[in-house]
Amino acid sequence: MIVDSLKLPKDIMLGASIVTMTGRTEAWVENYKGIIEYSTEMILLQGKNCQICFSGKRLSIDYYTNEDMKISGCIECVRYI
């Protein structure tokens, strides 16, 4: 694969989202297009290729910019749809 052989960053080349989690209470998400749905039980994000669904309890968005966002709360499940 050309991206591998040229050692290019996959997130930029493939448009893959980066999800960084600290325990089950905090998650940072980069490379996404926007929010599709937001409630205290579920946050559904639109990535470039797929949707990412965070479900849990007392979920909230600490900050939200075009580049990245931070989700905090009790995260029970992360699904790629």
Partner 1 sequence: MVGIIKFLKGYVRIRVWGYSPERFMNLCGNHDILLWNIVNHGDYYTMCVSIKGFFSLKNCLKKTGTRLRIEKRYGLPFLLPMVRKRKIFAIGFAGCFLFLCFMSRFIWAIDIEGNLTVTDDVFLDFLEQNGIQAGMRRDAVVSPTLEEKIRERFDIITWTSVQLDGTRLVIQVKENEHPGEVQKEEQEGEAGRNLLADADGVIVKMITRTGVPLKKPGDEVKRGELLVQGQVPILNEDGTIRRYEYCEADADIFIQYRYPVREKLPSTYIAKEYTGRLKKQPFFRTMKKEYRLPQGKAYSYCDMVTEERQIRLFGNLYLPLIVGKTTYREYLPTELSYSSREAGELLKGRLAKLVLTLEEKGVQIIQKDVKIVTNTKYYILKGNFTVISQAVVSVPIEKDQTGIMPEESKP
CB of 71 to partner 1, least distance (A): 10
Cα distances (angstroms) measured from residue 57 to each of 16, 25, 29? 26, 10, 18
CB of 73 to partner 1, least distance (A): 11
Toward partner 1, which CB reaches closer, 18 or 36?
Answer: 36
Q: In the complex, which residues of this chain contact partner 1 (CB under 8 A)? A: 33-40, 60-66
Toward partner 1, which CB reaches closer, 8 or 25?
Answer: 25
Which H or E element spans position 10?
helix 10-13
Task: Give residue for tokens 């409630």.
Answer: 39
C-alpha 42: how far from its chain's center? 13
Toward partner 1, which CB reaches closer, 28 or 64?
Answer: 64
